[in-house]
Chain A
């Protein structure tokens, strides 16, 4: 009996070794552990084992059985692994085939730019406010130091509905509205559509402007410089530089034009910036104290600065778009590019 057990111990190894598939493994299992199997047959002989030998033989039986079961289990695992590997080898897709489902659309380039600018301004503590596009002459001109006879305004530039109601020519119109209702200190930014009566490759009768206004006790031209510098760096990259040039707007004094280093050539000079290295992008300045006083803010106590620029133009610089008209044509083939 002992001999037979030892023989089984040896045979199971060989038997499992030669197995190639699950069917053969099942046969091996039956051959050893089945009702008529070798191990079962041996176990039947336990009755004849003398008492004194039983503990030893019993232990041996258990050992052999465990070995047989272990060997079979191991093989089974091995075969499972093989089978899975085979299967995975066959299951394969062409990963370059197109995706299924609704394809993404795109935001309009001007809105993308607006969103970008709003994020920058909101992070700096600005509140986004808006005003009407059809505006009174009072807010659009008069309240921002541009009375009727002022040379800075020209009937030809505005679209009028009546003598006193027009399509706003500048988001500056919202400055006076804000000053009437907000209590300083405040920082506001006004994005929106504006309108002027001219139309060519670089002028659209409708365009988008952004106006910023800061009113507080101790703000200066230097704050304006640092703030615009931060904004332009966030917009066009950390190496962006800005510079001031004197200019004139009725609502600011001193007034400046702000040039931004060309985002394409970084100031080296290229076609976009006409070799100057800089692009004229913003108008800005210290709020004219007349405007503050006119709108009920004490200019002896408060100062302010303001800036404004064309969102469309910023978007064009950002994307290398050279024709303003393409922005309002809305050809899907054009819009698709900003997906």
Chain B
């Protein structure tokens, strides 16, 4: 919220500089996000009077002016055509640094000296709304009675300092100059000045507000509705001081009545609405819920069709205002307006919020109303407006105000204790300091022993419990009390055991292993477009990703159902920028639901995905990585995979302890084409959630045999389709108790072996715990192995 230094000073004595004040406010919970000096670009600009204008001897389009700038006369050359002898104008002198970037220096124009420049309104940063003549194409001609030589910032009232203050959502009471002044008073140990709500009325007139308007409050959602009437209204430009205030806080000055309502909004935080009395049919205001289908032509030029959830201000025939949000064109102030009735009301903040969101209308009024307005503010706001109307002389105030209130919110009692407050804060603040601070915030309080009995002012609806009071105390006592705290950590709190997170730990181990295997970890958005379904040829549940209803765009609308989409996109991006060889991995979630429209939360399994495209890398390199990754988890086995996006012949499903946990292999040729990746691209994934839920791998260490192992090699020829894994299993079982290890050490293919044949050479290690094996025993086992391979796989000894 924007407020100005001078405006605040009108309500509280401030001896601090703007910077000091801002620092103090920030420390007390009202962060000043920006301090703007209105005169930042107005230094060395003064009011001058053109005494004499002569033609430039060398240039037809230039004139040479002698200008009175107060203490002296100076010569300025201009090309402006709207200047005349006797004109009072803004003069920028050497040293000036104007808002448009122009820096003024003494110069010579076609050989004639010029010591400054006349300014247009634009060059001073103001427009026609702010000051008459500021909008013309040419120099701003100032009123002739302005004091010559005075700084322009004074003459045009552009000498204020504007603070942009962040008001936290719990403090709607501070969304006004008065509210902030109240806080500043507490910070500085001052008290706020009483605001003038008085105005004279014509004591001889018998007219009262009821002769002009009646009000019926017909909805629960309006807790107070106040209204006053003003006759003989003059709609004109409001005085400069008021325009200056509004302009400083970013509100466009319009005319007396509108400016006053805006002024009260900023000053008191109370939104007002002014109606032209003559446009109210039947002379009666009805505050009610809208009827479904009712239409309103709003002041923003749009037409809205309302429903029962909206509150409207209507007369007997039509809705005139979408309450608390925007007025209608059918009843607004115009140049013909003679009599005005002014509304100052409190509406239900939820209703305002809902309607404002529904129609996408955000006005200063709605922004204020949806945060909640105190009941007392409605009457004060109205009185302040009437007071200003009277002060500006732009209307005659009619006696009396209408006040339709439902319930009231007065001062509330709250009992707390010094001990409780200090326990929350963990510091020792004396009872008298607590009491003093609360009192400075207008929280009336009485300390009785440890107890503090408080009366909370009605506008502090945010204060409900001990913690709320503790916050009030500490923010004004000062958080720097903690700067030198040398307490022991968790002095009064027992040790808590850190319960290991198995999934996190497993992923961390995997991540570190993959890094050592040359992989780079990536982190991608978990949502994207839907094209991945086609590109990855998905047909199962993964083909129906969950959709975000308000995404950043269609390309960010779908939650991923597979990690493949993210990692392949990243690979494609890297290829496009020239990174050709890569090993990537990502730990993340996929999001799966069978529901078209979510009614329960979806499944979010944690996955680890890997991608490799690298010269010379093949399926078995990948298998090695998978083995290293999972060896610590359990017993690994593989089966041919039918993942749609993997190459059917060069891919495997991964099983750990017999449970399917993932898959890996070469990417399907169609998929690499879809993602514009090299043919030799590999993808794999494991579900780290499932892996982390497996029982911990148990390692049992047996003693090795004291007797020497026996090694034998065996080479057999089999059909190409025979799987080595199954042969190794067969060898193991044929060896029985004597089995120690078996491995494949050579694969040989040659025409001489026959069509679609391969020769496999195995190294078999036998061992007996109790004795050295005899040749006979060895021969017997090897024969059994060979027989088994012959029988099960048609193997022929080579």
Query: Which A residues form the contact surface with B (CB < 8 A)?
Result: 102-108, 110-111, 115, 118, 122-130, 132-136, 148-152, 155, 159-162, 165, 167, 185-187, 193, 197, 199, 205-206, 214, 216-227, 230, 243-248, 250, 253-256, 286, 288-290, 303, 327-333, 335-336
Instruction: Assess whether B574 is interfacial by the CB under 8 Å rule.
Output: yes
Residues on the B chain within 8 Å of A226, using CB: 485, 487-489
* B487, A243: Cβ atoms closer than 8 Å: no
* B424, A220: Cβ atoms closer than 8 Å: yes
Question: How distant is A22 from chain B, measured CB to nearest CB, in Å?
Answer: 39
Residues on the A chain within 8 Å of B172, using CB: 151
As a 0/1 sequence over residues 482 to 506 of chain B, the CB contacts with chain A under 8 angstroms (1 = contact) are: 1101011111111111110101100
As a 0/1 sequence over residues 548 to 565 of chain B, the CB contacts with chain A under 8 angstroms (1 = contact) are: 111110001001000000
* B583, A162: Cβ atoms closer than 8 Å: no
Question: How distant is B494 from chain A, measured CB to nearest CB, in Å?
Answer: 6
Residues on the B chain within 8 Å of A136, using CB: 601
Question: How distant is A238 from chain B, measured CB to nearest CB, in Å?
Answer: 15
- From B372, B467, B577, residue with most partner A Cβ within 10 Å: B467
* B546, A161: Cβ atoms closer than 8 Å: yes
* A151, B169: Cβ atoms closer than 8 Å: yes
Residues on the B chain within 8 Å of A328, using CB: 523-525
- Assess A243 versus B479: contact at CB under 8 Å? Given A219-B492, A219-B493, A223-B491: yes
Contact of B29 among A159, A167, A247 (CB under 8 A): A247
Instruction: Assess whether B471 is interfacial by the CB under 8 Å rule.
Output: yes
Residues on the A chain within 8 Å of B154, using CB: none
26 contacts between A and B (CB under 8 A): A104-B516, A105-B515, A105-B517, A105-B520, A107-B512, A108-B521, A129-B501, A136-B601, A151-B172, A151-B371, A197-B552, A199-B552, A220-B423, A226-B489, A248-B29, A248-B169, A248-B171, A254-B467, A255-B471, A286-B470, A288-B467, A327-B523, A329-B573, A332-B584, A335-B521, A335-B522
Question: How distant is A74 from chain B, measured CB to nearest CB, in Å?
Answer: 42
* B520, A106: Cβ atoms closer than 8 Å: yes
Within 8 A of A (CB), among B594-613: 597-599, 601-602, 604
Residues on the A chain within 8 Å of B573, using CB: 329-331
* A225, B482: Cβ atoms closer than 8 Å: yes
Q: Which of B156-164, B349-357, B444-452, B726-734 contacts A (4 or more CB under 8 A)?
A: B349-357
Question: How distant is A165 from chain B, measured CB to nearest CB, in Å?
Answer: 5
Contact of B370 among A124, A151, A223 (CB under 8 A): A151
Known: A161-B598, A335-B520; 12 extra A-B contacts, CB below 8 A, are A108-B523, A111-B523, A127-B497, A150-B169, A155-B357, A162-B549, A162-B598, A217-B493, A218-B423, A218-B492, A220-B426, A247-B31
| Majority DSSP secondary structure for residues of A touching B | mixed
Contact of B475 among A103, A206, A254 (CB under 8 A): A254
- Assess A122 versus B498: contact at CB under 8 Å? Given A216-B493, A254-B474: yes
- Assess A245 versus B27: contact at CB under 8 Å? Given A122-B498, A134-B602, A221-B426: yes
Within 8 A of A (CB), among B524-572: 524-527, 546-552, 556, 559, 570
Contact of A125 among B496, B587, B601 (CB under 8 A): B496
Question: How distant is A249 from chain B, measured CB to nearest CB, in Å?
Answer: 9
- For A252, the closest partner residue in chain B by CB is B467
* A105, B465: Cβ atoms closer than 8 Å: no
A52 to B147, CA, bound (A): 149
Instruction: Assess whether B591 is interfacial by the CB under 8 Å rule.
Output: yes
Question: How distant is A41 from chain B, measured CB to nearest CB, in Å?
Answer: 52
Instruction: Assess whether B170 is interfacial by the CB under 8 Å rule.
Output: yes
- For B553, the closest partner residue in chain A by CB is A199
* B577, A161: Cβ atoms closer than 8 Å: no
* B525, A206: Cβ atoms closer than 8 Å: yes
Within 8 A of A (CB), among B346-387: 349-350, 353, 357, 370-372
Instruction: Assess whether B126 is interfacial by the CB under 8 Å rule.
Output: no
Instruction: Assess whether B288 is interfacial by the CB under 8 Å rule.
Output: no
- For B588, the closest partner residue in chain A by CB is A193
- Assess A244 versus B169: contact at CB under 8 Å? Given A102-B517, A107-B521: no
* B493, A218: Cβ atoms closer than 8 Å: yes
- For B499, the closest partner residue in chain A by CB is A127
- For A159, the closest partner residue in chain B by CB is B548
* A205, B556: Cβ atoms closer than 8 Å: yes
Residues on the A chain within 8 Å of B485, using CB: 222, 225-226
Residues on the A chain within 8 Å of B604, using CB: 132-134
Instruction: Assess whether B696 is interfacial by the CB under 8 Å rule.
Output: no
Residues on the B chain within 8 Å of A253, using CB: 465, 467-468, 470-471
* A193, B526: Cβ atoms closer than 8 Å: yes
* A246, B522: Cβ atoms closer than 8 Å: no
Question: How distant is B24 from chain A, measured CB to nearest CB, in Å?
Answer: 12
- From A135, A206, A253, residue with most partner B Cβ within 10 Å: A253
- Assess A205 versus B497: contact at CB under 8 Å? Given A162-B549, A248-B170, A332-B520: no
* B548, A161: Cβ atoms closer than 8 Å: yes
* A104, B551: Cβ atoms closer than 8 Å: no
Residues on the A chain within 8 Å of B549, using CB: 160-162
A108 to B427, CA, bound (A): 41
Contact of A134 among B171, B508, B559, B579 (CB under 8 A): B559
* A330, B490: Cβ atoms closer than 8 Å: no
* B27, A105: Cβ atoms closer than 8 Å: no
- For B486, the closest partner residue in chain A by CB is A226
Residues on the A chain within 8 Å of B471, using CB: 246, 253-255
* A221, B474: Cβ atoms closer than 8 Å: yes
A3 to B143, CA, bound (A): 142
* B526, A133: Cβ atoms closer than 8 Å: yes
- Assess A162 versus B169: contact at CB under 8 Å? Given A105-B515, A332-B579: no
Question: How distant is B100 from chain A, measured CB to nearest CB, in Å?
Answer: 26
- For A161, the closest partner residue in chain B by CB is B598
Instruction: Assess whether B647 is interfacial by the CB under 8 Å rule.
Output: no
* B517, A162: Cβ atoms closer than 8 Å: no
- For A255, the closest partner residue in chain B by CB is B471
Question: How distant is A201 from chain B, measured CB to nearest CB, in Å?
Answer: 15
A13 to B279, CA, bound (A): 138
A330 to B583, CA, bound (A): 12
